[in-house]
């Protein structure tokens, strides 16, 4: 029988450390529900000692999911472990994940500790975590650049102290596949008690090798893979869940391992991560990119018509990529909307449903076919958001090749209606100038991206902005068939998030 590889999803922790990908508690909880349906074995929900916001989010995820293990990250200090335990103890299956660096570079320049001190810190941390819960994971940060014998010594001590999983991270994405597999084999053969624990692998993608390194590690004997949806994460990202899972599924005789992932849920989960984080997926991204299953060349199309196996190694349906159906129209009622959303995995409260229903009706008036992706976008933009200080009431822009672009905006600021008009370099610039003036904000626009949610000229435009003010950074998203309105909604959403962060300084996470 094929061995089982455990899927440890760290989208909510390492993934969230991507620049600009921060998620609020509600967003994390919804995504955790999706990850549970996807079939992941472990959800790393956050780093509870990093901020009050992370702590609350981890607690909320524990209350939301029941099948997967929920892990909270902690450095080796007692304070971090206490905080992690306070956050995950409400989970049905809690795990404390503690880590310390083992490479000489980190010991000398970051930790300023000797190898003996790191060994002692590992043992103390794992023993303490074990006194709180049975399920303890230990990670040797920068493991791939550590002295292999010291790494084995630390793993052996961690297992003797009670670790049930030991994880070997390629923290800086430096490893290359053959060498990394050799290191895994070395660890397996030189750590005497290694068979009392699950050996795990955690890779970063700085050289574009995260998936290759992870797959080679599994061939060498690792049985837990730490991954994120769409490969989001620090710098160039983490190993992409979808790539590893589909490699196992597409090449079963080569890898001879199985996972608990329901692959038909991969694409909807990828879309949700994109919506929530506002991080676009490159069109040529393996498995979940918009072009991943598009055959452009005539010779390929001819082959595909004769037999899809000529050029297609995976069926699009296997990853949940089905033709978008016209799901609802303007005559659809609240009940139809509710039950369709439930099929898509969204269980909304009556108030959320009311908000969404009126947005849905507005959209159905403007757009004949309301597709699943449109509904996803409405949920992401309309429900998954913080309480609003600012909202749009009226927008009018003058644009064209013979007019000076101008925008008139009326908006509610803390419940009070205000209006104004400004010029700009284009209609979006004019609208943004007006909003900045009305709200008295001075944010810097770090990123502006616009894309169409589905095909066709009536597709909704999805705009993502990244704003910075007084050292705080927030992401804003807006969706509307009118791209200028979508741009304005994204800007106002971003300003609302900045306002929220200003009033909740404890939610601003300190980085690891
Ligand atoms: O990349 C890394 O080393 C990590 C550890 C905390 C597991 O994310
Ligand atoms: Zn990492």
* Per-residue pLDDT at 375: 82
Query: Ligand 1 atom closest to Cα of 14?
Result: 8
Ligand 1 center to 171 CA (angstroms): 6
Ligand 1 centroid to Cα of residue 2, in Å, is 28
CA of 94 to the centre of ligand 2 (A): 20
Question: Three-state SS string across 350-393, please?
Answer: HHHHHHHHHHHHHHHHHCCCECHHHHHHHHHHHCCCCCCCEEEE
Question: Of the ligands numbered here, which is closest to the C-alpha atom of 171?
Answer: 1
Q: Given this model, what pLDDT does residue 306 score?
A: 77
* Per-residue model confidence as pLDDT tens digits over 14-44: 998 876 677 888 889 999 999 999 999 999 9
**Average pLDDT of the segment spanning 292-311:** 74
Give Cα 293 to chain centroid, integer Å: 23
Confidence (pLDDT) at 509 = 46
| Chain mean position to CA 150 | 33
User: Residue 455 pLDDT more than 90?
Assistant: no
Closest atom, ligand 1, to C-alpha of 171? 1
Nearest CA to 31 out of 376, 317, 462 is that of: 376
Identify the burial level of 404 via C-beta atoms within 10 angstroms of its C-beta, where 0-12 means exposed, 13-18 middle and 19 or more buried.
exposed
pLDDT score of 511: 39
Nearest ligand 1 atom, CA 139: 7
Please, is 104 exposed, middle or buried when counting C-beta atoms within 10 Å of its C-beta (0-12, 13-18, 19+)?
middle
> Which atom of ligand 1 is nearest to 141's Cα?
3
Query: For position 475, what pLDDT does the model report?
Result: 78
Residues in the chain: 512
* pTM for the structure as a whole: 0.81
**Tokens (6 digits) for 112:** 């300023």
The total of other beta-carbon atoms located within 10 Å of residue 508's CB is: 16
Query: Which numbered atom of ligand 1 lies nearest the CA of 73?
Result: 6
Give the pLDDT band of residue 298 (cuts 50, 70, 90): low
Taking CA atoms only, the protein residue closest to ligand 1 atom 7 is 139
Closest CA to 474 of 27, 9, 7: 27
Mean pLDDT along residues 240-266 = 98
Query: What pLDDT shows up at residue 20?
Result: 66
**Going by CA atoms, what residue is nearest to atom 5 of ligand 1?**
141
**C-alpha 146 to ligand 1 mean position (Å):** 14
CA 13 to ligand 1: nearest atom: 8
SS3 115: helix
What is the Å distance from ligand 2's center to 226 Cα? 9
Q: Separation of 487 CA from ligand 1 center, angstroms?
A: 36
- The arithmetic mean of pLDDT across residues 220-235, rounded, is 97
Domains of the chain: 3-277 (3.20.20.70), 292-320 (no CATH), 334-382 (no CATH), 390-503 (3.30.160.270)
Tell me the average pLDDT across 47-51.
Answer: 95
**pLDDT by residue (tens digit) across 412-446?**
999 899 999 999 999 999 999 999 999 999 999 98
Mean pLDDT in residue range 98-121? 98
pLDDT tens digits, residue range 465-511?
888 888 887 878 888 888 999 999 999 988 988 887 787 665 554 43
Bridge partner residues of 395 (DSSP): 409
DSSP string, 444-490: EEEEEEEEESSSSTTPPEEEEEEEEETTEEEEEEEEESSHHHHHHHH
Pocket test of ligand 1: the residue of 98, 171, 201 to mutate, having most ligand atoms within 8 Å of its CB, is 171
Distance 40 CA to ligand 1 centre (A): 19
Q: Which one of the ligands is nearest to 146 CA?
A: 1
Which residues, in sequence order, are CB contacts of 219 under 8 Å at separation 6+? 181, 255
Taking the CA of residue 204 as reference, the ligand 1 atom at the shortest distance is: 1
Residue 189, pLDDT above cutoff 90: yes
What's the CA angle centered on 372, arms 370 and 375, to 5 degrees? 70
Q: Is the pLDDT of residue 454 over 80?
A: no
CB 51 within 8 A of CB 23: no
What token pair was written down for 135?
């399920």
Confidence of residue 300 (pLDDT cuts 50, 70, 90): low
Q: Give, for 418, the enclosing helix (H) or strand (E).
A: strand 416-423
| Protein residues whose CB sits closer than 6 Å to any atom of ligand 1 | 14, 99, 139, 141, 167, 169, 171, 202, 204
Which residue has better confidence, 304 or 285? 285
* Average pLDDT, rounded, for the chain: 90
pLDDT at 152 (0 to 100): 98
More confident residue, 182 or 479: 182
Centre of ligand 1 from the C-alpha of residue 226, in Å: 10
Annotate 12-49 with b (16+ C-beta within 10 A) or e (fewer): bbbbbbbeebbbbbebbbbbbbbbbebbbbbbbbbbbb
Give mean pLDDT, residues 206-226.
Answer: 98
- Give residue 231's region: left, alpha or beta (phi > 0; psi -120 to 50): left
Which residue lies with its CA nearest to atom 1 of ligand 1? 171
Task: Find, among 399, 443, 395, the residue nearest to 420 by Cα.
Answer: 395
Q: Is the pLDDT of residue 326 over 70?
A: no
Weakest-pLDDT range from 284-293, 294-303, 333-342, 361-370: 294-303
pLDDT at 294: 77
**Which range has the worst mean pLDDT, 63-67, 263-267, 305-309, 385-389?**
385-389
Mutate which of 202, 210, 238, 512 for ligand 1? The one with the most ligand atoms within 8 Å of its CB, which is: 202
Proportion of the chain above pLDDT 90, given as a percent: 63
pLDDT of 222 > 60? The answer is yes
> Residue 349: its pLDDT value, please?
83
pLDDT-derived band of residue 279, with 50, 70 and 90 as boundaries? confident
Rounded distance, CA 377 to CA 477, Å? 9
Distance (Å) from CA 285 to ligand 1 centroid: 24
Among all ligands shown, which has an atom nearest to the Cα of 144? 1
Mutate to test the pocket of ligand 1, among 12, 46, 81, 99 (most ligand atoms within 8 A of CB): 99
Tokens of 73: 């990250």
Distance 7 CA to ligand 2 centre (A): 15
Residue 423, sorted as left (phi over 0), alpha (psi -120 to 50) or beta, turns out to be: beta
pLDDT at 512: 42
DSSP 138-188: EEEETGGGS-HHHHHHHHHHHHHHT-SEEEEEETTS---HHHHHHHHHHHH
What's the gap between Cα 349 and its chain centre? Answer: 24
CB 73 within 8 A of CB 509: no
Burial class (CB in 10 A: 0-12, 13-18, 19+), 89: middle
Residue 167 CA: nearest ligand 1 atom is 7
Q: What is the pLDDT confidence band of residue 383, given thresholds at 50, 70 and 90?
A: low
In angstroms, the CA 108 to CA 293 distance is 48
């Amino acid at each position: 029988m094929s061995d089982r590889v455990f899927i440890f999803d760290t989208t909510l922790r390492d993934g969230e450390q991507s620049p600009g990908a921060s998620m609020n508690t509600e967003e994390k909880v919804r995504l955790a529900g999706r990850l549970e349906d996807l079939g992941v074995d472990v959800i790393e929900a956050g780093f509870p000692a990093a901020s009050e916001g992370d702590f609350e989010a981890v607690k909320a995820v524990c209350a939301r999911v029941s099948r997967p293990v929920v892990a909270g990250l902690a450095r080796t200090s007692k304070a971090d472990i206490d905080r992690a335990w306070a956050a995950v103890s409400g989970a049905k299956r809690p795990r404390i994940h503690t880590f310390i660096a083992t490479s000489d570079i980190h010991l000398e320049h970051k930790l300023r500790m000797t190898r003996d001190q790191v060994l002692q810190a590992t043992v103390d941390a794992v023993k303490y975590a074990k006194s709180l819960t049975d399920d303890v994971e230990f990670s040797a940060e920068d493991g791939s650049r550590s002295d292999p014998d010291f790494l084995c010594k630390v793993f052996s001590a961690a297992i003797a102290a009670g670790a049930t999983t030991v994880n070997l991270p390629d923290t800086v994405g430096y490893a290359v596949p053959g060498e990394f597999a050799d290191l895994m084999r070395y660890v397996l053969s030189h750590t005497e008690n290694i068979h009392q624990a699950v050996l795990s692998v955690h890779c970063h993608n700085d050289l574009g090798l995260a998936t290759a390194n992870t797959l080679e590690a599994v061939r060498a004997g690792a049985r837990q893979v730490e991954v994120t949806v769409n490969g989001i994460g620090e710098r160039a990202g983490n190993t992409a869940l979808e790539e590893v899972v589909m490699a196992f599924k597409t090449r079963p005789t080569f890898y001879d391992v199985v996972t608990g992932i329901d692959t038909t849920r991969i694409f909807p989960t990828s879309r949700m991560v994109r919506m929530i984080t506002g991080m676009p997926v490159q069109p040529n991204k393996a498995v979940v990119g918009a072009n991943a299953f598009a055959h452009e060349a005539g010779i390929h199309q001819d082959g595909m018509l004769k037999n899809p196996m000529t050029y297609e190694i995976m069926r699009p349906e296997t990853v949940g990529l089905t033709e978008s159906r016209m799901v609802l129209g303007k005559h659809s009622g609240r009940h139809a909307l509710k039950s369709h959303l439930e099929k898509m995995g969204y269980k909304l409260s009556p108030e959320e449903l009311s908000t969404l229903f009126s947005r849905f009706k507005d959209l159905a008036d403007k757009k004949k076919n309301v597709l699943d992706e449109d509904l996803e976008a409405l949920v992401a933009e309309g429900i998954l958001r913080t309480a609003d200080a600012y909202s749009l009431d009226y927008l009018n822009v003058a644009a064209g090749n013979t007019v000076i672009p101008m925008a008139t905006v009326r908006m509610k600021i803390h419940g009070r209606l205000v209006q104004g008009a400004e010029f700009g370099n284009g209609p979006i610039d004019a609208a943004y100038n007006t909003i900045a003036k009305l709200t008295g904000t001075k944010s810097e626009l770090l990123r502006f991206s616009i894309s169409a949610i589905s095909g066709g000229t009536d597709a909704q435009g999805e705009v993502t902005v990244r704003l910075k003010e007084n050292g705080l950074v927030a992401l804003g998203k807006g969706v509307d068939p009118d791209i200028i309105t979508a741009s304005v909604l994204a800007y106002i959403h971003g300003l609302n998030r900045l306002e929220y962060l200003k009033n909740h300084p404890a939610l601003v996470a300190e980085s690891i």
